[in-house]
Structure 1
Amino acid sequence: MSIDPRVALQSLTAALEEHLAAASARRGEGDPTVEAAFFAVADAFEVYEDALYEAFSEVTPLQVFDDDEEEEEEDEDDIEALESVED
């Protein structure tokens, strides 16, 4: 069952608005409300992107990065730094 891209876009917009509200009311570093809103935006974006592609074979110029991808990049940077010190 496919989702109408317009409905998915409305959900994404609502998630972005919730993220803004959570960020503006942040209660310190690692606020769980902000974190939940962050992941809601990522999830809503992926649903929108899928719906857009399914309906129109189109994508956005945006990309959601996983924490795992960030950690892998940091690990690669650390390895490169160590190799340059050893040389």
Structure 2
Amino acid sequence: MNIDPRIALASLTNALEEHLNAALNRRSEEDPAVESAFYGVADAFEAYEDALFAASGEVTPLDLYDEEEDEGFDVESDGDDSDDGESPA
């Protein structure tokens, strides 16, 4: 069942606001409300991406962070994935 991408976008916006509120009001380093809101954003984003693609064939320029896939992620990376030997401008 396809959902309207506008509805999915509204859900994503709400999830982002809930995450912001949870983060600003965190009670501890591992506050379960923040974790729950984090996963809410991820779920809402996937629903939006799916709805957008179903309605228009388009995707967003965003990727979800997956700790298992990115265990070797270099935080100091400049974000340039090209391997052309040139420095980014």
Q: TM-score range by the shorter chain?
A: 0.7 to 0.9
Distance 2:20 2:65 in 1: 19
1:70 aligns to what? Answer: 70
AA in 1 matched with 2:35: E
Letter in 2 for 1:43: D
**1-side partners of 2:32 and 2:12: how far apart?**
20
Separation of aligned partners in 2, 1:70 and 1:26: 26
Aligned-partner Cα distance in 2 for 1:59–1:67: 22
Report the equivalent of 1:16: 16
Question: Matched residues, percent identical?
Answer: 64
TM-score by length of 1: 0.80
Distance 1:70 1:39 in 2: 17
Cα distance between partner residues in 1 of 2:32 and 2:69:
22
Q: Distance in 2 between matches of 1:63 and 1:7?
A: 20
CA distance in 2, matches of 1:4, 1:36: 25
- Give the length in aligned residue pairs: 73
TM-score, L = length of structure 2: 0.78
Structure 1 gaps of 5+ residues are 75-87
The runs of at least 4 consecutive aligned structure 1 residues that moved more than 6 Å come to: none
Rg larger in 1 or in 2? 1
Correspondence for 1:30: 30
* Aligned match of 1:81: none
Aligned to 2:53: 53
Higher normalized helix content (fraction of residues)? 1
CA RMSD of aligned residues (A): 0.9
